[in-house]
Structure 1
């Protein structure tokens, strides 16, 4: 009986569809593609058009791991199963050609797609070709915008968009960027999206004060100028703020996870509610329309992991559409229909209005007076560093996969591949991954995925170097050199060191290896003896590594590595194994002479009373700056009478504007030799630092170690390193955006709206991805970081960076556990990192710190061989004929398919930033590489999913001096005839090249 009834229903539905003039499934499945703007629903010029956007927001890990979310495991933590969402939605779309849905996270869709039958895949392709299943954003994940580096953002977007392009063709290419959940928005992100070919960008979160002001002024939609260097409109992106974050309007959530009342339309039942729901909806639509400029508004119908039972949503939305539109017969002007962000964007474009221009960013984000989401800029600092190192290694893996050819993937070290690390790095960019806002077990899973990717890339890198050098000896990776652990260098008396340099310029690098001897001979690839020194392993490091290594000394020597190539050095122990005495810390009583260290570029002085850094001298330009550096901690609020908001993984809220110093006196000792000058500072049992000048190094290095942060006093602590000077900065300081352009910051100020400051510390923190600086007219102090951190200038002449956080309560933003990482030994996380200081004039600063920032970001990879270099074949190699100019950087060199290679070059200076380096740069690609020649090339968009000559973006009328040609869509063409290309400041150019090895 049940089967017969179901069969009758299907027949009746088919007949009903025919009566209404709607195509049956068989007929619409064979229709030609009509995706993109052509597939958008009809709208009414004299109506308030409400675009309902059915969607789900599926975090690529947060409270559960990626796998747990996909399969629906661990529902005791959170009920969510992405595979069931896609199953359910697709069935609903196949059953009714009037329905639409958007999907965002390619990492999940890729998994689901691999499990489908060919029949289902064909059905889904039909849905995509009709624009009814539309991909929005299209990256592997929806990446964070504060803690991410632009290189990793581009890579993860490229990975996702390539899958969509390869699978669905042009109909799989998203037209709209969609960052509904990240916690603040970066100007650089807008620039990258624009260069990828997106027509618009929608997001859900912005500061509550900013949102109030924009709603009143009808400025919820605008043109965002993503770059101060690129000529408009190349980095301009139409941007809209969604009215409800990414949730439905209140009272209209019909998921199984919601408690809102469904539409009950049987007039014979007591709970009939159509009239009240329709009235409420029409009122909400008009209220929302009052905040926007056109007669079109958008409503996001969905939320986190919704649509697992899509029938609930669609059944109620079908009724909503029917009953609201029926009111037009009674004078209503509201027209509601299924739509998508791209269709909504297209209507805004056709309105031909003039839009305001914004040229700053949307940081910091606050959702209440005491609720600044600035803690996650630093949360999980060890993972933030591991992610940065992993991208470093991924770029090396990509390059050597090209240079080593087929032998890199299968060689003497076994089978290796880069895909595992590519996908793990893409997942790590998620806004609850590198941001540090996930549960601990999820953070562990992210790290595990990266580790598996490292394993595969290590095989590939070893194979490639074997192919390039002719050496098939097994290589050894020492992954704990930062704590002086490497069994090979500790145990062997003779070994070789190979260093691969991913930059297209020769670099000098200082190698530090743990050893147990006191005298060594080191020779370079030509057999020339290289200066070396042996220093004792510090007590700081001995305590940190515990029983993971037994080296008593460190061997130091400097190497020179050719551009995009490697050098191999030979090391032999010549003396007996014995300890070099470790210096004991000295107490300070104010009577000793000031301690100082010095190299060719800097002299650094320390206060004899406190042991703190007190003065930096730049010896080249005779510039002196008194500067004091110390470690402090903010006491984390757990809520008070002013607000119950505590500090947590997301939120930074100190309970006082004055941080506590870790100590008032640091114990110090110094090591000085021909290669390095070092001052060891001990601030407490859990906080220490080495201040270091290497020979020939044009900056000061600070290696800090913090943790385990004590919590026995039941107080959460947020640790900062602060530099205090007498520079007259007038409230201004400067931070980078995702490692690229620098933005001017001003304390207690927002450029586009009047700020009422309620949190003088947290409300002035900004993301620092690679650098922060302060300056006056003559002097600039710049600090480079080795990972993403939060930073600020709380008082004039002061600069601070948050290094570590250990908190005792959750901040009530969903993660449900305190940010108190256990560390490897379950007694609290210990973190070690580096800061590089530059003292210069403002005019000279960029020429120093921009190239160094790239060198820190793409450090050389070290491999050891348990053999003398005489047995290792070719000892030096470079894949280029000539080095790139200092203002040009090789951003990407990676295998695309069996016959082609993806190449990206970028200009790494801003417009007007440097008199010498902010000029256009020309590169002859055919003369760049020595290892292969370019047979053909095709210029692509930044995301490599369309030819640049075919990339067309919507043109907009804006309140600006620039006048866009509104009669045609913008076409981005090749600026010069390949292979000779010209790069303008901050320009990135992407090529697909076919190569032939020489």
Structure 2
């Protein structure tokens, strides 16, 4: 039979429907303590080895692991006995394995899935981190993995339970996202050791996690369980080839028969565990990292364990052991109809012992964290243009491309040892390479799409080193075009900065009108960083207006001018202040440091000092041998050391920008910047290579000190969305015994952190995920870079040294945006800025010698894919091709319910009339992960402590695509069958 026909028959069998799901769960009799054995393997998508090395089983001297053999072995053992069950989690690995298997194996796997004996749990492309991840790529990577399972196995392949057994702390926003994806529950393995002890004593290891204050219960509620042994088997019951526990020796004639001892030990372990849980059902995870490469010893011994323990029931034992899955276990808990405690905060920071806070990875590999954030920005642009222009984006004058490679690379980058910065150096290099290859294919998509939309074939250039003033096209060309694509649903004013070598240029907007431009010298800081990568002596600056979900084309021409033309840019040593119409920034006359910020519009002044400091990383001391490493942050003192007490500084200013260049040391500098129309203060910092000549590891922070009375409170975002209140040296659900006054108060900051009193709020926005805190009242600090001499003994086996391109240590450049406002009005600014930071315009250059793309189309220099701009409280979160002729559209209300008098109200949009180049014949609302129609989502109901009633989730809505309403913090997801229209020119 031909391969294609057989595949079609297999898929038809999947979609005919079978007995998969909860109907296949084994019986769990009443009156017994039911022990649910969950055979599983945990497969890191890169950590000590690369993704490919793990899959194929290469480099086993580093770690013995081969994912392909795990899946091969498990499938054979499941086929050998119908009692057996197994769960699998990481779709990235399973997808690769599935592509390489024969139809006969696929047929067996489909049958196992249909019978509920091979069950997919979680189902994302990876098991993503929850601290350093942004909500946008979290949703994307979950969608990509779940879409693969849905298209391959149909409804039987749809996971019902989230499974985050290894991430190092857990986010409230992640729980909310899982709930909106339709999951019935979440199980995880890691929580603070003090929290776990308290929960075991009070039988609160399982709970209802309320994921939002803004969305009504129970839509934001998620049943959440803490696994008893992390994700490992109970002591003495590990039967993998990697383990050393004794097998069950059940021959009654043999001298070493150990059945009685096995039974006694197991019943003791079950009884002890049951004493810490609320129901008569308990769970045991039978597996761990990369186990089941040889599944025979596992299943052989679990078969025997079930038999010998259950045989004791004739003697009055009330313990019953079964093969199970997380969804079967969850269903049993649901049937118990108990009342569960409610949790409303999150599970950060995580510590696995005194002095052992896993808060270093919030910042580790700061360069990669920025590249991942930029890659998400680029992927959204790629997705949008692929959706807006259809086939013309995938197949055009620049070749064939699609967003798939970058989508998968971004999925891998969300893994809890990737974005966290906790993999070995060669693995992190592989993550970076995967993203780079994804960028290359998306550059083809964007080039094709721009040619189709503009009607001109250009030689497009993507200048990805603009932050260090490198771009060959702008440096060398006498004239060139600048295309700016805006992925936001509202118009954006953007300050463009391009490296050049001329002294004067003219810039024309899409209508041919002259645009004010300036030329400013490239700083010595930047020249030192870029070395021989570029030659630009100056930067060309101009301000661009870009329409929503569209582009503007600007024409740049080098002109001859006398040297006096260049004197507009003034340079002044030791400036006292800079000022635009929004802000004044003042500098101390002696130290040169920032001394105050004035919001001129609101009339708010805040005396404020900003400086860089470093914590001396611990190499172990009398209190604990714990060192600071990739995972763990542990300074050897609570008092950081200033990089410098004063700075050398100078001012560069012209009609568009004012910049104060501050030099703190040979390895630390900063530019304090105010563009003419910019409603925030920009701090562009450059740190590295962090020196190690003194044999001290260093954790570098940027700290802001004020006299605000903050009473131990500060605020951080959760994955870029919700804002959570933090209290120093305090945990919501237990009495904290603090052992690390700095590291124990660090939290993940994905986009912003702030402090406030009754009248003033100081917000700092970040351009990547970082660790941050308020160690003293009125103070904020963000860790920007770290370089360490020791491993922290959590498995990675090497110090976080990052040699960088030249082997001398990594240099990191980034931005902090400062907003000073009233607490009442701050959200209007920081919500809008946070979205703009991760969805910023993409700059594409061309030499301007294009030829006509289509003789029937006039060239277009400005375009918007939207008929009208979206308001600030409607965000186009996703626009992507889901399958041929079907688009995935997500609309988000980015504000919380009570934070803005202007935007915290419901917002309405007409989806049918939203786009200028698209029309829809069918629109269907889906769950957040787009793998289930919203009207078919039926989640388990739970009794929550303190709830007066137990409402059902509202399904009474009827979808009207012309009238889509979003409430605060709501995301609505749609699949739309699309047709394309040619764009009209926008002037």
- If the TM-score is normalised by the length of the shorter chain, which range does it land in? over 0.9
| Counterpart in the other structure of 1:884 | 870
> Structure 1 pair 531/367, CA: closer, same or farther in 2 (3 Å)?
same
| Counterpart in the other structure of 1:24 | none
Alpha-carbon deviation of 1:577?
A: 10
* Offset from partner CA, 1:436-470 (integer Å, 9 cap, x none): 00000000000000000000000100000100010
User: Which residue of 321, 325, 340 maps to 1:340?
Assistant: 325
Q: Aligned partners of 2:816, 2:852: CA distance in 1, in Å?
A: 38
| Counterpart in the other structure of 1:913 | 899
**2:494 aligned with 1:489, yes or no?**
no
* Offset from partner CA, 1:710-756 (integer Å, 9 cap, x none): 01111000000000000000000000000000000000000111101
| Counterpart in the other structure of 2:73 | 88
Alpha-carbon deviation of 1:997?
A: 2.0
**2:230 aligned with 1:245, yes or no?**
yes
Quick check: 468-477 or 208-217, which moved more?
468-477
User: Which residue of 961, 968, 978 maps to 1:985?
Assistant: 968
| Counterpart in the other structure of 1:19 | none
Alpha-carbon deviation of 1:927?
A: 2.1
| Counterpart in the other structure of 2:507 | 522
Answer whether contact 1:584 1:669 (CA < 8 A) is retained. Answer: no
Alpha-carbon deviation of 1:383?
A: 0.3
Answer whether contact 1:437 1:649 (CA < 8 A) is retained. Answer: yes
| Counterpart in the other structure of 1:9 | none
| Counterpart in the other structure of 1:678 | 659
Answer whether contact 1:922 1:981 (CA < 8 A) is retained. Answer: yes
**2:985 aligned with 1:994, yes or no?**
no
| Counterpart in the other structure of 1:658 | 639
Answer whether contact 2:14 2:156 (CA < 8 A) is retained. Answer: no
* Offset from partner CA, 1:221-242 (integer Å, 9 cap, x none): 0000001111111110000000
**2:788 aligned with 1:825, yes or no?**
no
Superposed, which structure 2 residues align to 1:756-905 within 5 Å?
756-867=737-848, 873-905=859-891
**2:717 aligned with 1:744, yes or no?**
no
Answer whether contact 1:708 1:827 (CA < 8 A) is retained. Answer: yes
Report the 3-state secondary structure (helix = DSSP H, G, I; strand = E; otherwise coil) of the residue aligned with 1:540: helix
Answer whether contact 2:34 2:320 (CA < 8 A) is retained. Answer: yes
| Counterpart in the other structure of 1:13 | none
> Structure 1 pair 270/993, CA: closer, same or farther in 2 (3 Å)?
same
Alpha-carbon deviation of 1:948?
A: 0.2
Q: Aligned partners of 2:282, 2:958: CA distance in 1, in Å?
A: 39
Answer whether contact 1:427 1:433 (CA < 8 A) is retained. Answer: yes
Q: Aligned partners of 2:569, 2:543: CA distance in 1, in Å?
A: 24
Alpha-carbon deviation of 1:30?
A: 14
| Counterpart in the other structure of 1:68 | 53
Report the 3-state secondary structure (helix = DSSP H, G, I; strand = E; otherwise coil) of the residue aligned with 2:362: coil
Q: Aligned partners of 2:192, 2:484: CA distance in 1, in Å?
A: 46
Report the 3-state secondary structure (helix = DSSP H, G, I; strand = E; otherwise coil) of the residue aligned with 1:322: helix
Alpha-carbon deviation of 1:540?
A: 0.4
Q: Aligned partners of 2:920, 2:949: CA distance in 1, in Å?
A: 38
* Offset from partner CA, 1:800-828 (integer Å, 9 cap, x none): 00000000000000000000001011100
| Counterpart in the other structure of 1:366 | 351
Q: Aligned partners of 1:217, 1:413: CA distance in 2, in Å?
A: 63
* Offset from partner CA, 1:531-586 (integer Å, 9 cap, x none): 01111000000000011101000000000000000000000111269897999998
Answer whether contact 1:571 1:868 (CA < 8 A) is retained. Answer: no
| Counterpart in the other structure of 1:210 | 195
> Structure 1 pair 383/577, CA: closer, same or farther in 2 (3 Å)?
farther
Answer whether contact 1:939 1:974 (CA < 8 A) is retained. Answer: no
Alpha-carbon deviation of 1:268?
A: 2.3
Report the 3-state secondary structure (helix = DSSP H, G, I; strand = E; otherwise coil) of the residue aligned with 1:367: coil
Answer whether contact 2:571 2:653 (CA < 8 A) is retained. Answer: no
Alpha-carbon deviation of 1:703?
A: 0.2
User: Which residue of 734, 745, 759 maps to 1:753?
Assistant: 734
Report the 3-state secondary structure (helix = DSSP H, G, I; strand = E; otherwise coil) of the residue aligned with 2:701: strand
Q: Aligned partners of 1:641, 1:576: CA distance in 2, in Å?
A: 68
User: Which residue of 129, 142, 146 maps to 2:131?
Assistant: 146
What's the TM-score, normalizing by structure 1? 0.95
Alpha-carbon deviation of 1:976?
A: 5.0
| Counterpart in the other structure of 2:179 | 194
**2:414 aligned with 1:429, yes or no?**
yes
Q: Aligned partners of 1:135, 1:981: CA distance in 2, in Å?
A: 33
**2:605 aligned with 1:624, yes or no?**
yes
> Structure 1 pair 438/577, CA: closer, same or farther in 2 (3 Å)?
farther
Superposed, which structure 2 residues align to 1:538-617 within 5 Å?
538-575=523-560, 595-617=576-598
* Offset from partner CA, 1:771-798 (integer Å, 9 cap, x none): 0000000000000000000000000000
**2:246 aligned with 1:261, yes or no?**
yes
User: Which residue of 287, 293, 300 maps to 2:272?
Assistant: 287
Report the 3-state secondary structure (helix = DSSP H, G, I; strand = E; otherwise coil) of the residue aligned with 1:702: strand
Q: Aligned partners of 2:802, 2:492: CA distance in 1, in Å?
A: 37
Kindly report structure 1 stretches of 4+ aligned residues shifted beyond 6 Å: 28-32, 577-588, 868-872
Q: Aligned partners of 2:57, 2:732: CA distance in 1, in Å?
A: 44
> Structure 1 pair 168/31, CA: closer, same or farther in 2 (3 Å)?
closer
Alpha-carbon deviation of 1:122?
A: 1.1
Report the 3-state secondary structure (helix = DSSP H, G, I; strand = E; otherwise coil) of the residue aligned with 1:953: coil
**2:104 aligned with 1:123, yes or no?**
no
What's the TM-score, normalizing by structure 2? 0.96
Report the 3-state secondary structure (helix = DSSP H, G, I; strand = E; otherwise coil) of the residue aligned with 1:842: coil
Q: Aligned partners of 2:75, 2:148: CA distance in 1, in Å?
A: 19
Answer whether contact 1:162 1:945 (CA < 8 A) is retained. Answer: yes
- Flag structure 2 segments of 5+ consecutive residues without an equivalent: 1-12, 854-858, 982-987
Report the 3-state secondary structure (helix = DSSP H, G, I; strand = E; otherwise coil) of the residue aligned with 2:825: helix
Report the 3-state secondary structure (helix = DSSP H, G, I; strand = E; otherwise coil) of the residue aligned with 1:927: coil
* Offset from partner CA, 1:499-552 (integer Å, 9 cap, x none): 000001110000000001111110100111000111100000000001110100
Report the 3-state secondary structure (helix = DSSP H, G, I; strand = E; otherwise coil) of the residue aligned with 1:926: coil
> Structure 1 pair 358/486, CA: closer, same or farther in 2 (3 Å)?
same
Q: Aligned partners of 1:152, 1:691: CA distance in 2, in Å?
A: 30
| Counterpart in the other structure of 1:941 | 927
Answer whether contact 1:717 1:806 (CA < 8 A) is retained. Answer: yes
| Counterpart in the other structure of 1:726 | 707
| Counterpart in the other structure of 1:454 | 439
Alpha-carbon deviation of 1:264?
A: 1.0
- Flag structure 1 segments of 5+ consecutive residues without an equivalent: 1-27, 589-593
* Offset from partner CA, 1:269-307 (integer Å, 9 cap, x none): 222111011100000000000000111000000000000
> For this pair of structures, how many residues does the alignment match?
963
Alpha-carbon deviation of 1:832?
A: 0.2
**2:393 aligned with 1:412, yes or no?**
no
Q: Aligned partners of 2:725, 2:15: CA distance in 1, in Å?
A: 55
| Counterpart in the other structure of 2:311 | 326
Answer whether contact 2:47 2:417 (CA < 8 A) is retained. Answer: yes
Q: Aligned partners of 2:626, 2:598: CA distance in 1, in Å?
A: 44
Answer whether contact 2:389 2:980 (CA < 8 A) is retained. Answer: no
Q: Aligned partners of 1:975, 1:242: CA distance in 2, in Å?
A: 39
Superposed, which structure 2 residues align to 1:707-722 within 5 Å?
707-722=688-703
| Counterpart in the other structure of 1:14 | none
| Counterpart in the other structure of 2:145 | 160
Q: Aligned partners of 1:701, 1:504: CA distance in 2, in Å?
A: 24
* Offset from partner CA, 1:312-331 (integer Å, 9 cap, x none): 10011111111111111112
Alpha-carbon deviation of 1:978?
A: 2.2
* Offset from partner CA, 1:16-67 (integer Å, 9 cap, x none): xxxxxxxxxxxx9999722111111001111110000000000000000000
